[in-house]
Amino acid sequence: MRGIALGLTLALAAACEASRTGLGAVPVGTWGGEDAGLVVSADSSHAHIGCTLGDVTGPIPLDSEGRFDVAGQWNVDAFPIDRGILHPARLSGRTDGRSLSLAVRLTDTGQALGPVALTLGQPPHMRGCPICRR
């Protein structure tokens, strides 16, 4: 019984901590970094890493430690001529609500992009490729 009670106590403490941070999902806004960006709205997200880009439908949910791993679509041939080829992808990383790490792995080819470091409220600093603005 003591083991169950301790486990329940720890689970409740973790849940309280997660609710205190207020991070159930990646916060809405523009996240910028070096040659990378993420634009998060309430119902979707759009990201760039270099001359590649991708989208996620719906909010990006976070676990109690601020980690995420969501399905999306990614275009590795977006610039200079967009061929319109979308690959299934997993976008993963972690955030504390102010900074965020983002990595992408195409699930059909295994190609990996990132991780990149992003900061909420900072404009993306794209070197050779434009970023889509919403």
Q: What pLDDT shows up at residue 6?
A: 40
134 within some domain: no
65 within some domain: yes
Q: What pLDDT shows up at residue 17?
A: 45
107 within some domain: yes
Distance set, CA 16 to CA 5, 7, 21, 59, 73 (Å): 16, 14, 9, 21, 33
The string of DSSP letters for 106-133 reads ETTT--EEEEEEEEETPPPB-SSS----
Q: What pLDDT shows up at residue 20?
A: 43
Intervals of the chain under pLDDT 70: 1-22, 133-134
Return the residue matching tokens 């949910």. Answer: 61
Q: Three-state SS for 97?
A: coil
Q: What pLDDT shows up at residue 13?
A: 43
| Number of other CB atoms surrounding residue 129 within 10 Å | 15
Q: What pLDDT shows up at residue 129?
A: 81
The closest alpha carbon to 72, from 34, 31, 103, belongs to 103
Q: What angle do CA 91, 69, 12 make, to 5 degrees?
A: 155
Torsion of CA 92, 89, 126, 51, to 10 degrees: 160
Q: What pLDDT shows up at residue 133?
A: 55
Structural domain total, the chain: 1
User: In terms of residue numbers, what domain contains 114?
Assistant: 24-120
